[in-house]
Structure 1
Amino acid sequence: MSTHIQLLGNPRLQVGKERALNGHKPWGLLAYLLLEPGPISRREIAGLLCGEADDPAAAFRWALFQIRKSLSPALEIEDKDGALMVHRESDVVVDAERLLMGTLDVDEILAITDGELLAGHNFPSAPMFESWLSMQRSRVASAFADSSRWAATALINRDPDSAMRLVRRALVADPFNDGVHELAVAVHIARGDRGEASRYIEHVSALYRKELGVPPPATLSRPLERPVAPTGSPLVSLDIGARTLFETSEARFTAGDYEGAVSMARRAAAHAAASGDGQLEARALVRLARVLIHSVRGCDREAVGLLGRASELSIRLGDDKIASDTEREIGYVALLEARYGTAEASFGRAIAAAHRTGDEARRIRASVYRAICFSDRCDYRSAEQTLRGAVESLSTEASQKGLLSYTLATLARVYLRTQRFKEASETSREAVGEGRAAGAISILPWAMVWGAEADLKLGKSDEARTSYEEALALGVEIDDPCWEALALRGLALLDRQEGREDFAQKRLQDGVIRCRRLPDTYKWAEALLLTELAELGGADPEDVAAARAFAHQGPMPDLMSRLERKTASQTRSQTANP
């Protein structure tokens, strides 16, 4: 008999027949136990949730008892040496968990009436728990919006009215999502109302100019520019031209000629669309989107729209390889933007599609990207487990040395952030070696900065400085603002160690400027630099607010905790010295 735990909307339990779980705090505790990586300190969660009670320990025991009474034996909570671990039977289903993993199907997404986590449950007497819940609500809302986008794409041709309801739902959570607005235009066209599509474009244009002070992306009208009724069979000349341009784009991208690759990919996409070959068009769109995302930068808004069209085609054609590529790249853009709910759900769909085709390379790449999300939001155990598995699989694949280097570098960061400095240093060196052997120079700074920080922790300041300086030089050479910023942040760590905090501030400020050189850089890196700048007293209020916004949105609980400590310290100082 399955057990359903509904955390979305008004929470409820279904264990055979519906059972009650009474009280806000039992529901809050259950959500924490299910959504936080374990094991969980009993003392810590008791303080978060029940710290204001006259007898916090007794209040926590009552909440724990309520969960056990309602869910045992399907779900058991073990208390071992002050750490809580959840053990559950295989048929226990948690809706929020499946939403975040990207495993809900279209009908299940349509059936969700309220995507808010623990709707109606607030904890004003437990402000630290309320802060945790607020960050988790942001993460869940992000996944809910993205799942609505994906389901709308799946329904655009067979049920455009339902697709439009899902589009509107996604836009409530993210009203300036370019890709979803483009999807809305496509839905109007699928309903046979090109006039309404044109009016919608005018409405969105006015909205963007009024609220953001910028025009909407030019790609918004792209669905109107497609043929109303594509030809039933490909035109051979256009088909051959598209394939030739596609191959040329691949070659130029590999050779580092990114402008040439973009030009060829654009022409390939145009030829493919005109040919009427949906599969070829989808492949060309994914290739163009990948080039825009991973090389040119500043073009992610356009790329997401291209991926939306590719997603529609992949679902229509039942092509899981294209579906996997599409969802992976959509997830990667969300990862850069620190929308981890969206990213992880998209990566989950990419992994599932790759698994259906038996394509290990596709599955591993999406898994590695998802592990970065895990690490950014401090789920180090899941990140390490995923990355170790990827390294084991990639070690026997000679053609995947570049991905192996990237994976090892990401694993080195996990070791660093869990205080295993020797392992971080050694793994970073291995990543650099694999990257050099593969000719994957653009990956090296990602490995170097984590190895350098580990060396710094191990007392090897000279080695750390050399690595940071080389990472900075490489970042400048390949024009990657994120790598430049992270290397400058490392040099700032050295400055702080040597007591030169003024130099450290200047380096961090320079790093932040570089992070903002383009609109689609890695927001976790920017948030990290802003947090450390705030700790040095060198961040203005707008920068502190930006760091808090990123940390809340992700969520990035470690950075949020550091920012809150800094704010509390400043408040105490101002109170003591009015």
Structure 2
Amino acid sequence: MALGIRLLGRPCIERPDGPTYRLRSRKSWALLAYLLLSEAAPTRSQLAGLLFGEADDPLRALRWSLAEIRRCLGDGASLDGDPVVLRLPEGTVVDAATLIHASWADAVEVVGIDAELLDGVAVRGAPAFESWLLSERRRVAAAAEGVLHEAAVGLLARGALDRARGFAVRAAAMSPLDENHQALLIRLYRLAGEDTAAETQYAAWAELLDTELGVAPGEAVEVAMRERPLERVGVPTEASIEAVIEAGTAAIAAGAIEPGVASLRSAVRLSDAGRSTRLRVRSREVLAEALIHSLRGLDEEGLAHLHEADRLALEANDPISSAQARAELGYVDFLRARYDRAELWLTESLALSGDSPSVRAKATTYLGSVHSDLGNYPRAVELLDEALRLSREVGEARRAAYTLSMLGRIDLIRGDLDRADVHLAGSVELAEGDHWLSFLPWPQALRGEVHLARKDPGRASETLEQAFARACQLGDPCWEGMSARGLALVAEATGATDLAFETLLDARTRSNRLADPYVWLDAHILDALCELGLRHGHPDTRSWSDAMRELTSRTGMRELTVRAMLHSAALGNAGDASAAVLLAADIDNPMLHALM
């Protein structure tokens, strides 16, 4: 039996040589959790200030807690140095780490998966730690919710509808207003032929939405309600299946999205009736990409097809197709800000991609984007540079344009405006050259913010208005929200404060109108609302700050979490300023450090 550390629920340590052990001091539990869950090794002075600032001798109090942890963990562990480094015996199981980093099949088996982190451990006189713990509790809860949802989708792909439904119910209970949870649960009822249960669930969800938000169910739930158990069809030839796939793909390329998706759904049914695993995988992957990238708001259905494609590909010993499916699974989790899940899928995609530079380019692009959202900028740049090289190697102009836009966004965030302009101009040029007009608003909106940062509101306004008009023509919520955010900043810079707030609120509404928004953008817009709210004394600033703090801490967006803490500190919340300084220490962004 290996050493086990349980941080979920009431914490305890299970040692292989004796009974379950509990540390005597709550601050020792707090210290152990911080050391286990922090990404960087903290210094002794940081730990002393975090937990023992009110002690007569903070460093001595820290040494006492370190000694208690060492005794508890046993001889196989080491805990020493400055910065303080904790090394655990090989095979040690930490429940929170398993929940966050393991595959869904392992993570869903964690005891107390939906219990609170350090339940019952209240640390007095340490406001900075309390601020950190609040963020970590939200992040762990979000990880549990994501794992339950992923387990339900994974079991659906295996045909285990009863087990899948149990996990879907638990995920929905954790976030009752999440439309994707409801869509999955209703789809499971419909596939099992339990129409009455599906109708009851739909009615309850519609009533809740109307009561809480005053809106009707979205497209994802409506599509789930139209789901039916698979019908038997005649056995088709491989040529006929390929013809249907080609017809669907051609329709989507020509802009006829819904007819194209209908053809691809037919291709999935036909391929299941045939005997070609290759076509069963291909039809699902093509359909999933269409649902995720073209027909917005139906990522949930796309996820189910990707899980099935991944399972079929692995059973057929086709690692490249599995890598392709996992790259797309990682992309969806990236959009949803389930970054730990995204990183797991994308890392596995790279491991399976072999000598396919196209798949490697895709997975590396998305993985770099994940690290960019998280605020791990050096790693993000390293990955995106490699993705750009691979994209150019295989002649994928659109992938290169996307990669350049993400590099430009990092430059903008870090204040390197010249480099940002070069990257974003390159992105626009590639997108225009490849007639990728549906992507143009994104780099244009970012470039507009570069112009504004250079104190050129006129040029910024022109660029952003063009981006916004294109985004509205496309009906893309993300592009609309990003360009509207930029226009709001232009309005504020030119003295139109009321218009700035109105436009920012509209940007947030636009970016979140579908079930599958780009979650990072919501936090980005909230950050602008908080900045302007503090500057102009807006009465809703506290509610925006609270919303941003909850969102960023649940998702692990490190820089935006720091910014949320700084907004909260400016509103008088004790401990947030100190916690922000601690969390910002290893974020490589001079623009952020200037705010400390």
Q: Provide the TM-score with structure 1 as the length reference.
A: 0.78
User: What is the identity, as a one-letter code, of the residue corresponding to 1:344?
Assistant: D
Say whether residues 1:490 and 2:486 are aligned partners: yes
Residues of 1 paired with 2:315 and 2:190: CA distance? 14
Q: Which residue of 2 aligns with 1:417?
A: 413
Say whether residues 1:379 and 2:376 are aligned partners: yes
Structure 1 residues 565 and 395: CA distance shift in structure 2, 3 A: same
Q: Which residue of 1 aligns with 2:268?
A: 269
**8 Å contact kept, 1:355–1:363:** no
* Alignment map for 1:332-347 (pairs within 5 Å): 332-338=331-337, 340=338, 343-347=339-343
Say whether residues 1:24 and 2:26 are aligned partners: yes
User: What is the identity, as a one-letter code, of the residue corresponding to 2:33?
Assistant: A
Q: CA deviation at 1:312?
A: 6.1
In structure 1, which of residues 72, 79, 83 is the aligned counterpart of residue 82 of structure 2? 79
Q: CA deviation at 1:3?
A: 6.6
Q: Which residue of 1 aligns with 2:139?
A: 139
**8 Å contact kept, 1:374–1:380:** yes
* Alignment map for 1:371-450 (pairs within 5 Å): 371-398=368-395, 400-450=396-446
Q: Which residue of 2 aligns with 1:368?
A: 365
Residues of 2 paired with 1:503 and 1:105: CA distance? 45
Unaligned runs of 5+ in 2: 211-215, 574-596
Q: Which residue of 2 aligns with 1:212?
A: 209
Q: CA deviation at 1:278?
A: 5.8
SS at match of 1:217: helix
Q: Which residue of 2 aligns with 1:298?
A: 297
Q: Which residue of 2 aligns with 1:130?
A: 130
Residues of 2 paired with 1:532 and 1:378: CA distance? 17
Residues of 2 paired with 1:34 and 1:568: CA distance? 26
Q: Deviations over 1:445-486 (max 9, x none)?
A: 333444444454455666655543443344344332322332
Q: CA deviation at 1:129?
A: 2.6
**8 Å contact kept, 2:154–2:304:** no
User: What is the identity, as a one-letter code, of the residue corresponding to 1:136?
Assistant: E
**8 Å contact kept, 2:2–2:15:** yes
**8 Å contact kept, 1:424–1:454:** yes
**8 Å contact kept, 2:329–2:345:** no
Q: CA deviation at 1:548?
A: 4.5
Q: CA deviation at 1:44?
A: 5.0
**8 Å contact kept, 1:245–1:268:** yes
Residues of 2 paired with 1:87 and 1:455: CA distance? 48
User: What is the identity, as a one-letter code, of the residue corresponding to 2:263?
Assistant: M
Q: CA deviation at 1:236?
A: 2.6
Residues of 1 paired with 2:515 and 2:164: CA distance? 30
Residues of 2 paired with 1:181 and 1:329: CA distance? 22
* Identical amino acids, percent of aligned pairs: 29
Q: Deviations over 1:405-434 (max 9, x none)?
A: 212221232333334444433333343344
Q: Which residue of 1 aligns with 2:517?
A: 521
Residues of 1 paired with 2:455 and 2:569: CA distance? 31
Q: CA deviation at 1:345?
A: 1.3
SS at match of 2:393: coil
User: What is the identity, as a one-letter code, of the residue corresponding to 1:211?
Assistant: L
**8 Å contact kept, 2:326–2:346:** yes
Q: Provide the TM-score with structure 2 as the length reference.
A: 0.76
Residues of 2 paired with 1:521 and 1:317: CA distance? 34
* Alignment map for 1:231-246 (pairs within 5 Å): 235-237=235-237, 239-246=238-245
**8 Å contact kept, 1:217–1:302:** no
Q: CA deviation at 1:304?
A: 4.2
Say whether residues 1:481 and 2:477 are aligned partners: yes
Q: Which residue of 1 aligns with 2:230?
A: 226
User: What is the identity, as a one-letter code, of the residue corresponding to 1:376?
Assistant: D
Which stretch has the larger CA shift, 515-524 or 164-173? 164-173
In structure 1, which of residues 178, 183, 188 is the aligned counterpart of residue 182 of structure 2? 178
User: What is the identity, as a one-letter code, of the residue corresponding to 1:143?
Assistant: A
SS at match of 2:475: coil
Unaligned runs of 5+ in 1: 573-578
**8 Å contact kept, 1:110–1:166:** no
Residues of 1 paired with 2:326 and 2:381: CA distance? 23
Residues of 1 paired with 2:427 and 2:394: CA distance? 15
**8 Å contact kept, 1:315–1:323:** yes
User: What is the identity, as a one-letter code, of the residue corresponding to 1:508?
Assistant: L
SS at match of 1:79: coil
Give RMSD over aligned pairs.
4.2
